[in-house]
């Protein structure tokens, strides 16, 4: 595998694990605010992001490449509001989409068709991630009143199915 691509994939593993860590921090915040539905949704998101990192890990190992794990930055621990938190989720997912697209460009530049095919799954996943965040934000904004809307969204997000 081309070194530029291998290094970029290793960096993405770190970024996926940071994403997991970010969502776990958001879940902890929501738990502290007694929003168990939001916390549940974010914990499911934590597991998904961790799985994305492991999918990249397994791809590198399967190609006979070395995985290099790096330190994970501390995520934020305070958030302005429930809506603000999910707006941050959306912005973060947009950022990750850009990172995945960059990996696709690199795989094309170096002519690694296996990596290009592998990365298509991530592109599709990012479309879904952004759509989910957009729907949650729209749900907040379409509510009757502030506290009623937040409580309704908390109940709704508590129903998200987790892994397994």
18-40 pLDDT tens trace:
999 999 999 999 999 999 999 99
pLDDT of residue 144: 61
**Alpha-carbon gap, residue 91 to 114, rounded angstroms:** 29
Q: How confident is the model at residue 140 (pLDDT cuts 50, 70, 90)?
A: confident
Q: How many domains does the chain have?
A: 1
pLDDT tens, position by position, 81-121: 899 999 999 999 999 999 999 999 999 999 999 999 999 99
In this structure, is residue 163 part of a structural domain?
Answer: no
Buried b or exposed e, range 43-63, using 16+ CB within 10 angstroms: bbbbebbbebbeebbebbeee
CATH of the domain at 139: 1.20.1260.10
Structure tokens that stand for 57 in this block: 């890990």
* Crossing angle of helices 113-141 and 146-157, rounded to 10°: 140
Which structural domain, as residue segments, surrounds residue 32?
3-69+76-157
Please report whether residue 164 resides in a domain. no
| Distance from C-alpha of 140 to C-alpha of 148, rounded to nearest angstrom | 10
Q: How confident is the model at residue 50 (pLDDT cuts 50, 70, 90)?
A: very high
Of 138, 155, 116, 131, which Cα lies nearest the Cα of 34? Answer: 155
| Cα→Cα distances 55→51, 103, 151, Å | 6, 14, 35
Distance separating alpha carbons of residues 90 and 84, to the nearest angstrom: 10
Please report whether residue 125 resides in a domain: yes
At residue 151, the pLDDT reads 86
Mean pLDDT computed over 66-73 = 96
15 part of a folded domain = yes
Please tell me the distance from the alpha carbon of residue 1 to that of residue 112, in angstroms, as a whole number.
8
The answer to whether residue 80 is domain-embedded is yes
pLDDT in the model for residue 149? 77
Residue 13 lies in a domain: yes
Residue 46 belongs to some domain of the structure: yes
pLDDT confidence of 146, banded at 50, 70, 90?
Answer: low
Structural domain contains residue 162: no
């Amino acid at each position: 595998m081309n070194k530029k691509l291998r290094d970029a994939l290793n960096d993405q593993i770190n970024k996926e694990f940071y994403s997991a860590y970010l969502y776990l921090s958001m879940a902890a915040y929501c738990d502290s605010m007694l929003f168990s539905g939001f916390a549940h949704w974010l914990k499911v998101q934590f597991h998904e992001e961790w799985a994305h990192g492991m999918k990249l890990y397994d791809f590198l190992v399967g190609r006979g490449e070395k995985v290099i794990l790096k330190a994970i930055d501390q995520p934020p621990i305070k958030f302005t509001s429930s809506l603000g938190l999910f707006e941050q989720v959306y912005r973060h997912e947009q950022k990750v989409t850009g990172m995945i697209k960059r990996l696709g460009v690199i795989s094309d530049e170096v002519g690694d068709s296996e990596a290009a095919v592998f990365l298509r799954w991530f592109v599709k996943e990012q479309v879904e991630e952004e759509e989910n965040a957009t729907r949650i934000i729209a749900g907040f904004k379409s509510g009757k009143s502030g506290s009623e809307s937040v409580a309704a969204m908390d109940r709704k997000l508590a129903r998200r199915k987790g892994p397994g």
